[in-house]
Amino acid sequence: MTLGRAGWPLALWPVLALAQAPGWETRVVELAPAMRACLATRPGGMVVAAWEAERGLTMARLLLPGGAREDCLAHPNGMLVERREAVAEADRRPDEALRAFMLERRCVDAWRVVDEAGRELGWLAYPGCG
């Protein structure tokens, strides 16, 4: 299933509406360059939350292999700005367990994320997928 600018496939909206309100995943194409920059040097990592930060930058919460978390600040053009290591358990966001963005497909029910030109940006799934 392909996921593009419109967000989630329309067939899934009734299910998603019952499960949770849509979050950052509805802007996954827009946020992808920043998230890709954050994941570029973190093999096996995945973004479990993303939000707008100061100065128009994107903050991405990464879940790394082994369970460690870190925050990564990146420019929407894909330039890495800063990493903030070791996010404490008490600082977890409530939406972290709902969805995940990753660079490679790790499970069969992951959705392919593409830009307007059809280039693959990554995959959207759930954190347990990886």
Structure tokens of 55?
């100065």
Would you say the pTM of this structure is higher than 0.85? no
pLDDT tens string, the chain, 130 residues long: the values are 555 444 545 444 334 433 455 688 889 999 999 999 999 999 999 999 999 998 899 999 999 998 889 999 999 999 999 998 767 777 788 778 788 999 999 988 899 999 999 999 999 998 888 6
What is the C-alpha separation between 9 and 4, in angstroms, rounded?
Answer: 9
Measuring CA to CA, which residue among 65, 52, 58, 77 is closest to residue 104?
65
Per-domain residue ranges for the chain? 2-129
Give dist(CA 56, CA 58) in Å, integer: 7
What backbone torsions phi and psi does residue 56 show, to the nearest 5 degrees? 75, 10
pLDDT attached to residue 11? 47
- 9 conformational bin, left if phi > 0, alpha if psi -120 to 50, beta if neither: beta
pLDDT value, residue 85:
77
